Structure 1
Amino acid sequence: MKKFQTILYYCYSPIANAEQFAATHLTFCKSLNLVGRIIVADEGLNGTISGVKADVEAYMAAIHADERFAKTEFKIDEVDEPSFIKMHCRYKDEIVHSGLKDPNIINPNTRTGKHLEPVEFQKMIKEEDVIILDVRSNYEHNLGRFKNAITLDIENFRDFPEQINELAKYKDKKVLTYCTGGIKCEKASALLLHHGFNDVYQLHGGIIKYGKEAGGEDFDGKCYVFDNRIAVDVNSVNPSIVSTCYSCGIVTPKMINCANPECNEHITQCDACGEELEGCCSVACTTHPRKRQYDGTGYYVKVPQQVNVSAK
């Protein structure tokens, strides 16, 4: 049995005095020996945290005990070691940055696409006249994506609104949106509806839940995650690898961050090129004076914080 758990979750629910809540919540998380990354905004919570099972369960119980977050769904992974080294809980303008703050346009509590459970999504993607839309960034869908999905040339989710005109030709079709855990689809589907798309759906719980409940069928490659695992397997039915090495072009499922901290590019890179380029995306980056030590993972942290692994 694995000692640790990593949970992924979000909840759109208004938080009064959210900045103060973030500070208090950080203290609470540290009291439970948790590590991870939580974003707090006036509109809700978005987090991935990791720790021993008892600590994680105590955290989930506390979230559900708060009536604001009682409906929060957690995606739970059993892991061999914590998926973070530090605990961060920060206040930001949005829990997923879209740049759209007008509640008359974007309010996931009042209007979003129709939520499809994984098994429903699995059936619908096989229908004719259906558009499968990946609302994630380039580096994410380059690593893995659903078969026949439309992917967007965007560096960040805040670039998604600029794609609406390009997507307008699909207004009269069934549009099925998906992302990692569902949080981006809440806003993406709302924006599509605002712009006159007639029939919009979203994969409830995202790729992660789809992998757990539908076996990940027809998802090619791996799923990028925002912790030190970097990528996780999804498809246990008909898996394949679709990503190629940024440096040499061979097929590889491995993703790293460039070792040059001023570049920090998310790239897929095979082990051979990783060793040759010392974890960098280019020869130029290997000469940067602040280049980080490449340990084969391509994931970099600043100051370690141990997770308490004692029995509870």
Structure 2
Amino acid sequence: MKYQTLLYYCYVTIENGGQFATDHLQFCKSLDLLGRIIVADEGLNGTVSGTKEACETYMKTLHADPRFAKIDFKVDDVAEPSFIKMHVRYKSEIVHSGLLDPKMIDPTKQTGIHLEPLEFMEMKDRDDVVVLDVRSNYEHNLGKFKNAVTFDIENFRDFPEMINQLASFKDKKILTYCTGGIKCEKASALLLQEGFENVYQLHGGIIKYGKEAGGKDFEGKCYVFDNRLSVDVNSVNPVVISRCFNCGKETPKMINCANPECNEHFTQCEECGWEMDGCCSIPCKEHPRKRVYDGTGYYVKVPQPVNLAAKKHKAAVQVQGG
């Protein structure tokens, strides 16, 4: 059986987004797809995985809809599906911007100049260029472009507060990049609003760059939001830049802490993985809810315990209220 994993996004107005999410979940389940999709009034953001035939049907169906005709799917052949469940959720944004008024930016109206991978590769080393990683710290700690500027942020919603650190680069060309391109749409729009005049973005992100430019000068691995956790990008001049959180040994392996109440993303070598039982610290290793470590460091989300007392109280109040 041949499987594929699709990474994509699309900024476009979706009317009745909540109902669209419900219907889209049923459509995905009818194809036996697994994955995670975010629906918002501003568009779609998804990663889905399934058989090659199912993925082809999914792509053809979305492309047949005028709203999604221009979606650029990044396609990976995989040995097995990259997810365990299928989720489609309706949210306020497909990428949380951290802005009090998310509508102050609209990637369909203003965003950076899109660079195809080979164009990005040609520009990135120029003296008048700054390459900017707009991803979170655990992502760029695993892998990033050589000499890229990075921010110590845990989520993209912290990005707007960091822009003032780029003030000295206002006379430069800013080349933004992320995993698949979606964060750059908003990051570049924010930079333009803050007075940066020459703003560009890597179209299709790191994943497309790896496929079309061989990943040249991308150091380390690329973090992905599925059970693979990371993928190889550079087939030209690959290096490992990440180190084991516990012992400092060079390692490309990224995992999630086995303690579900921590769930920290961190790099850990094989030896420390088994010694620490997939945990980042001794307290996590000794935690009563610690999950079983199988060497992968990927876990299905564990539901939090239900507060039965609160649930009964709520039900009683509803009955009394008639």
Local SS of the residue matching 1:296:
coil
After superposition, residues 10-49 of structure 1 pair within 5 angstroms as 10-49=9-48
**Which residue type is aligned with residue 64 of structure 2?**
A
Deviations 1:157-193 (A, max 9, x none): 0000010111111111100000000000000000000
**Which residue type is aligned with residue 106 of structure 1?**
I
**Which residue type is aligned with residue 79 of structure 1?**
V
Local SS of the residue matching 2:77:
strand
Task: Tell me which residue corresponds to 1:159.
Answer: 158
The answer on 1:187 being equivalent to 2:174 is no
Deviations 1:203-255 (A, max 9, x none): 00000000000000000000000000000000000000000000000100000
Q: Percent identity?
A: 73
Alpha-carbon deviation of 1:99?
Answer: 2.2
The answer on 1:203 being equivalent to 2:202 is yes
Alpha-carbon deviation of 1:101?
Answer: 6.3
Alpha-carbon deviation of 1:301?
Answer: 1.0
Task: Tell me which residue corresponds to 2:312.
Answer: none
Contact 2:177 2:206 in 1 (8 A): yes
Distance 1:108 1:63 in 2: 20
- From the two aligned structures, give the one with the greater helix fraction: 2
Distance 2:41 2:235 in 1: 38
Local SS of the residue matching 1:181:
coil
Task: Tell me which residue corresponds to 1:144.
Answer: 143
Distance 1:112 1:268 in 2: 33
**Which residue type is aligned with residue 171 of structure 1?**
K
**Which residue type is aligned with residue 114 of structure 2?**
H
Task: Tell me which residue corresponds to 1:175.
Answer: 174
Alpha-carbon deviation of 1:57?
Answer: 0.4
After superposition, residues 1-312 of structure 1 pair within 5 angstroms as 3-100=2-99, 102=101, 105-302=104-301
Contact 1:105 1:194 in 2 (8 A): no
Contact 1:105 1:191 in 2 (8 A): no
Runs of 4+ in structure 1 off by over 2 angstroms are 99-105
Contact 1:261 1:290 in 2 (8 A): yes
Task: Tell me which residue corresponds to 1:308.
Answer: none
Alpha-carbon deviation of 1:104?
Answer: 6.0
Unaligned runs of 5+ in 1: 304-312
Contact 1:219 1:235 in 2 (8 A): yes
Contact 1:8 1:181 in 2 (8 A): yes
**Which residue type is aligned with residue 187 of structure 1?**
K
Moved more, 46-55 or 161-170: 161-170
Local SS of the residue matching 1:278:
coil
Contact 2:7 2:46 in 1 (8 A): yes
Local SS of the residue matching 2:104:
coil
* TM-score of the two chains, using structure 2 as the length reference: 0.92
Distance 2:220 2:152 in 1: 18
Deviations 1:93-148 (A, max 9, x none): 11011123646631000010000000000000121121000000000000000000
Contact 1:105 1:190 in 2 (8 A): no
Unaligned runs of 5+ in 2: 303-322
Deviations 1:242-299 (A, max 9, x none): 0000000010000000000000000000011110110000011011110000000000
Local SS of the residue matching 1:73:
coil
Local SS of the residue matching 1:39:
strand
**Which residue type is aligned with residue 153 of structure 2?**
I
Greater Cα radius of gyration, structure 1 or 2? 2
Contact 2:259 2:287 in 1 (8 A): yes
Contact 1:35 1:87 in 2 (8 A): yes
**Which residue type is aligned with residue 276 of structure 1?**
E
* TM-score of the two chains, using structure 1 as the length reference: 0.95
Contact 2:98 2:156 in 1 (8 A): no
Task: Tell me which residue corresponds to 2:319.
Answer: none
Relative to 1, partners in 2 of residues 1:302 and 1:131: Cα closer, same or farther, differing over 3 Å? closer
Distance 2:295 2:68 in 1: 39
CA RMSD, aligned part only?
1.1
Distance 2:148 2:268 in 1: 23
Distance 1:93 1:25 in 2: 17
Moved more, 91-100 or 214-223: 91-100
